[in-house]
Chains A and B, each alone.
Chain A
């Protein structure tokens, strides 16, 4: 996948200065990983915001054709941003806050890469 693991050239960024909202307040960095790579988030922000700011675009792939999805509604309705978090699948990245040490992974299809749930199913 062309976007994975790199900030890419599409100009994703945090909006550090804003004419109406002012400067982005400083806060303690929250480190977590996305497919093993360290990502630095801001306290209180959802996983998806931190990933988009870091330049990632693909958050999941679809089960049938494997096509990529990367978040759409940002309010927990559309299921385009479901990721695997600490081994649990179908976690909405747009609503779930970043916390230090989270293990976030792209959700492939029906999340065969969610180890804790596989263990529960006994597969």
Chain B
């Protein structure tokens, strides 16, 4: 029987991991909770560099390209399918249209991406305060701008990208920056009207929190993968080795779920996870794995290098 691989998450890392494993001869299924494969590439609009193809390109077009490659390699997709849990033996609990089923495979690649970091401050629960990625989904996927004047909390690339997205959508960025939470206060009765930064007040309609992202390896953790802390990789990350393999047999983690990185980095890492999973099933050689690793570029090498020194963190159970 053909060995099977299940990939959770149809973002850039999951798509290339699936293609790689299917090309090596595995029977591959990709699960994704959204209606359409592509992950982050579906709600971002500014050109990204993928490391495959020389020029930066529109994220949705890159998603189409990666999806076409996966379909051509024989990958099957189950979209609108939420993985709600993972049990012993890599048994997945799947929810589709309110009905549950189970999925079991010989090997599993967790490519579940990242979530926005929270940044709690006074008034941050008011209507009109959104997460940065939520705002990108509203602006770019749904084509809705929930106000005119924006404040963007954040001081790095996610905030910069969102500021440009807001301006592309005809919005006005009134204030953008980072301040210690006690100095920030969102004000308004039943929706944001003002942002106070220290003693300064800005009239705003929307506040977006884009202070950065964190890996979302919950599924790998549920399956028994320990967590490690790595400031370089963006905080708590799954403790996998430099072949992306979890201590849990048959389990691999790739892309933002393993540590937040660029699109090019998560694509290179997805490819490595796909070929490593195939090799673990006897479908690829160590030379094949080494070739993919060597082609991954400097950011992949750097990311994998960070993994060799990770120490697991101990999580105290509730008494």
CB-contacts of A12-52 with B (<8 A): 12-16, 18-21, 24, 45-46, 49, 52
CB-contacts of B118-151 with A (<8 A): 125-131, 133-135, 137-140, 142-149
Chain B residue at minimum C-beta to C-beta distance from A61? B190
Q: Is the CB of A3 within 8 A of B143?
A: no
Q: Is the CB of A11 within 8 A of B144?
A: no
* B32, chain A: closest CB distance, angstroms: 12
Q: Is the CB of A15 within 8 A of B190?
A: no
Is A120 an interface residue when CB atoms closer than 8 A count as contact? no
B interface bracket (residues with beta carbon within 8 Å of A): 35 or more
Q: With A71-B127, A73-B116, A74-B130 as given contacts, are A10 and B147 in contact (CB-CB < 8 Å)?
A: yes
Q: Total interface residues on A, using CB and 8 Å?
A: 39
* A79, chain B: closest CB distance, angstroms: 11
* A109, chain B: closest CB distance, angstroms: 15
Is B256 an interface residue when CB atoms closer than 8 A count as contact? no
Q: What chain A residues lie within 8 Å of B143 (beta carbons)?
A: 14-16, 18, 21, 24
* A23, chain B: closest CB distance, angstroms: 10
Among the listed B125, B144, B191, which residue makes an inter-chain contact with A57, where contact means beta carbons less than 8 Å apart? B191
Is B277 an interface residue when CB atoms closer than 8 A count as contact? no
In angstroms, Cα B127 to Cα A9, docked, is 15
CB-contacts of B136-189 with A (<8 A): 137-140, 142-149, 168-170, 189
Is A84 an interface residue when CB atoms closer than 8 A count as contact? no
In angstroms, Cα B168 to Cα A24, docked, is 14
Is B45 an interface residue when CB atoms closer than 8 A count as contact? yes
* B60, chain A: closest CB distance, angstroms: 9
Q: Is the CB of B144 within 8 A of A52?
A: yes
Q: What chain A residues lie within 8 Å of B168 (beta carbons)?
A: 18-20
Chain B residue at minimum C-beta to C-beta distance from A55? B146
* A55, chain B: closest CB distance, angstroms: 9
Q: Is the CB of A68 within 8 A of B205?
A: no
Q: With A3-B190, A11-B149 as given contacts, are A49 and B144 in contact (CB-CB < 8 Å)?
A: yes
Chain A residue at minimum C-beta to C-beta distance from B138? A74
Is B115 an interface residue when CB atoms closer than 8 A count as contact? yes
Is A53 an interface residue when CB atoms closer than 8 A count as contact? yes
CB-contacts of B4-54 with A (<8 A): 33, 45-46
Q: What chain B residues lie within 8 Å of A76 (beta carbons)?
A: 33
The residue among B33, B137, B144, B191 with the most chain A CB atoms within 10 A of its own CB is: B144
A residues sitting closer than 8 Å to B (CB atoms) are 1-4, 8, 10-16, 18-21, 24, 45-46, 49, 52-53, 57-59, 67-78, 80, 94
